[in-house]
Amino acid sequence: MRHFGIAPETANEVTLTEDLVNFAGQTRLAGTTVRGNIYDFGAGDVLLDQQWYMGLGGGFGAVSEDFIHDASYVKLREISLAYNFPKSFASKLKLTNLGITLIGRNLYTWSNFADEFGVDPETNLTGVSNGRGLDYFTNPSSKSYLIKLSLSF
């Protein structure tokens, strides 16, 4: 979302109080109002402007610590509750067996990742591949409820 200018941090405007160099090495003069953020990576303040967010800061460059998150989770993937009616009841309906099952799928995910980013940790933009953890523009697993009726004649 950073690369496309949709993430909240890309909407910030700041008026520079000193000359600052942006990520690409260009100097922005004090008093200039720019869209971006000021950040100190350890060697002094740097302006993180559009060039930053469209490059390394947008996640499409080399992977860095900014984009690595703990995605451990526990998921209630499926639970079912089944009941087989007594044969005496089934025979009244001219059946040999009658059963009903209630099923719930993808009911809940316990994860700091899901809470912080709102994304299902199992989401993967590239489908079944080695590119794991690419989670933008993808939908989470759908939650579903099913009723299964088993009849034997």
**pLDDT score of 111 more than 90:** no
Q: What percent of the chain has pLDDT over 90?
A: 30
Measured from the Cβ of residue 138, the count of other Cβ atoms closer than 10 Å reads 14
Least confident range from 2-6, 82-86, 142-146: namely: 2-6
pLDDT at position 59 over 60: no
Residue 78, pLDDT > 60, answer yes
Q: Find out whether 90 and 98 touch, Cβ atoms under 8 Å.
A: yes
What gap in Å lies between CA 70 and CA 95, rounded to an integer? Answer: 53
8 vs 147 pLDDT, higher one: 147
Whole-Å CA distances, 3 to 15, 45, 50, 92: 22, 21, 8, 66
**143 or 132: which leads in pLDDT:** 143
pTM of the model: 0.53
**Number of residues that this document lists for the chain:** 153
Alpha-carbon span 118 to 120, nearest angstrom = 7
